[in-house]
């Protein structure tokens, strides 16, 4: 999955914001798959390092 995600991000970099949160999901039929992209301030911050979250939000707001 990590290799596929890297390819998706590289090939679509010009269409994506500088900072995004990637939701990855799993189901029995498909296995692991990319579910959606979210803005960092709108994503659930479960088990995240507060320092890294702040850096992410700061970087997302820089033009």
Note the pLDDT of residue 41.
Answer: 74
Q: What is d(CA 49, CA 14) in angstroms, rounded to the nearest whole number?
A: 28
1 has a pLDDT exceeding 70: no
Note the pLDDT of residue 60.
Answer: 83
Q: Domain locations in the chain?
A: 2-60
Note the pLDDT of residue 40.
Answer: 79
- Considering the entire predicted model, what is its pTM? 0.62
pLDDT, tens digit, 9 for 90 and up, residues 13-56: 898 888 888 888 999 999 999 898 888 777 777 777 878 888 88
Note the pLDDT of residue 55.
Answer: 84
Other CB atoms within a 10 A radius of the CB of residue 56 amount to: 20
CB 23, CB 42: distance < 8 Å: no
| 3-state secondary structure at position 58 | helix
């Amino acid at each position: 999955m990590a290799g596929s995600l890297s390819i998706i991000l590289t090939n679509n970099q010009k269409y994506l914001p500088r900072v995004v949160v990637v939701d990855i999901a799993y189901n029995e039929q498909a296995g692991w798959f990319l579910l959606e992209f979210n803005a960092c301030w709108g994503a659930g911050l479960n088990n995240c390092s507060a320092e890294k979250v702040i850096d992410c939000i700061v970087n997302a707001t820089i033009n």
